[in-house]
Amino acid sequence: MREHRFGTIALVAMVALASGIFTVKVRAQQGAAASTATPDTSTSTAKPQASKKSTKPTASVIADDPAPNREGDKPDLDAIYKIKDEGINHSHVMEIESYLTDVHGPRLTGSPGAREAADWATKTMNDWGLANVHLEEWGPFGRGWSNERFSAQMTTPRPYILIAYPEAWTPGTNEVGSPAVTADAFLALINRPEDLDQYKGQLKGKFVLTAPLPDVKANFDKPDAHRYTDAELVDEATQDISAGPDPARAALMAQFRARRELNQKIQKFLIDEGAAAWIEPSRGGDDGTVFVQQGGSQDPKAPPAPARITLAVESYGRIYRLLDKKIPVTLQIDDQNKFYDDNPNSFDILAEIPGTDKADEVVMLGGHFDSWQAGTGATDNGAGSAVMMEAMRILKTSGLKMRRTVRVGLWTGEEEGLLGSRAYVKSHFADPSTMQVTPEHAKLDAYYNIDNGTGKIRGVYLQGNEAVAPIFEEWMKPFHNLGMTTLTIRNTGGTDHLSFNAVGLPGFQFIQDPIDYETRTHHSNMDVYERIQEPDMKQIATIVAAFVYMTANRPDMIPRKPMPPPVAGNGMQFGTATPSIVSGMPAPPAVPAAAPASAPKKTKIAKQ
């Protein structure tokens, strides 16, 4: 049964992932999962807590306005009709999704695929007539990486095709263009540093398995895919109060750190011994689903990594059992990977619809553009990128006038720690380490983010912003019949709205039906177009377009919370996990974690 609480799922997942997985997206949806799906006509009556008045004004919009203009919060139903008609009856969202995934996926940060996808996205938005379409470089990010060819099979004792994927930023088993490597598999169970010595001198040229046999159980409890029930949404709308430090969480963190340190020792040992590759089982998953991210570092100064390959638990299990029976196993693996050192920087993609009388104020929408390498990045986060592009197309095509400028931002480097959005925020709005704001900080109205897969929108995480609750409650009313009914004061983490929240800007992530995001597609080889739900995608794009439109035309800007205190260090506290936490790899350089001090390079995309 899926459990949403950070102390349970995120830390258990990180411990399980420590052998090679990079990041765990923390979702703050809390409450027990139930087995009954919510129909599209859900009318949950979950209500947010009553709004409170902020005691500290910010540079522009003040949460403690003594007389907020509530009349200006009434939805423009004529505009909503046009947005719904365009978004539902004339949608382009699945075509956009197909180009981002089938044609240009995967989109690993620093890879040629990510650049090609960006070229397509900028040309497409230029063709729609959007303004100021450009790439903004940030960095340094580090080395680029791509897999050029991969196959894996057991050749003895019987031929058997393996379900397997290379881990990002690792070298291949063989150079590009050279023959596949055939070698013996070797079972070297390593559960503690003391286990290493017994395998000295035995691993040269071997494909080495170091992990115990994964436990695979039948899924009797519930199906992979799930929609929130009314009861779950009511629970989600309830403010959660912590009872204090969780001893179980502390124990999991200690276990996790121990596993990280062990992995660092295993990696160095395999390099020193000359192993052909480190063979690892997928964390969790079954039915051929492989959860795989990175096993090396994009930092060119990091210690070398061996070839690292993640197998489906079923493939790993067969090899393990044969070796455990002392039956020799030979594998043939063709793992050809390339590193790219010509440009250490990455980029963000920006485009606008200019406003009218308040054009100097900006409403932003966005999501991360990058993905991992095993699938095509369909649900994470081709879905978010596609619906945000589609929302811009809807607003442009509808001809609706907006007072404020609307700007879309599609970020890279999110999977490595929200790097692209954080670089953008630091360059344009504020440095989180000092909280020194730029003039643009006062002009950013709000930021809306999508990054929870393909599931339809059910509500909004308010990120503790009590003053915005009555506004969003009004704006949701035209979408109750599309299943959007819930506001929660809770925070949700692990994605790019946090970069904006970290400097006191209103950043929001929508509550989405989970579908099979965590169970099947998130960071896996099953993150492909077939997992996308077309009706949900149309609903998401329509609602996002409407919320952006209403924000852009509201008389006042969205209320802000008080400015947070400066964040020490490189700001990773509000980002996702770094390689040093999960895979045992050194952390990326501190510079890309905080945005560049100088203004980013803007690359203007000429209209075709």
Average pLDDT by consecutive 10-residue portion of the chain (608 residues)?
35 41 35 35 35 33 49 91 98 98 98 98 98 98 98 98 98 95 98 96 98 89 90 92 85 90 95 98 90 95 96 97 98 98 97 98 98 98 98 98 98 98 98 97 98 97 97 98 97 95 98 96 97 98 98 98 84 33 31 38 46
CA–CA separation, 164 and 352 (whole Å) = 41
597: buried, middle or exposed (CB in 10 Å: 19+, 13-18, 0-12)?
exposed
CA–CA separation, 371 and 412 (whole Å) = 8
Closest by CA position to 432, among listed 588, 581, 575: 575
Alpha carbon 582 to chain centroid distance? 16
Domain boundaries, the chain: 71-143+344-604, 144-340
Q: What is the dihedral of CA 493, 497, 498, 501, to 10 degrees?
A: -130
pLDDT at 170: 97
pLDDT at 589: 33
Q: What CATH topology corresponds to 144-340?
A: Glucose Oxidase; domain 1 (3.50.30)
pLDDT at 602: 53
Q: Sign (positive/negative) of CA torsion 588, 591, 593, 595? A: negative
Strands 207-209 and 181-187: parallel
Contact (Cβ atoms closer than 8 angstroms) between residue 482 and residue 40: yes
Helices vs. strands in the chain: H and E counts, helices first: 14, 19
Please provide the DSSP assignment of 422-437 as one string. Answer: HHHHHHHTEETTTTEE
This prediction's pTM: 0.85
Assigned CATH class of 71-143+344-604: alpha beta
pLDDT at 6: 33
pLDDT at 569: 57
pLDDT at 374: 97
pLDDT at 568: 76
394: buried, middle or exposed (CB in 10 Å: 19+, 13-18, 0-12)?
buried
Q: What is the dihedral of CA 424, 428, 431, 437, to 10 degrees?
A: -160
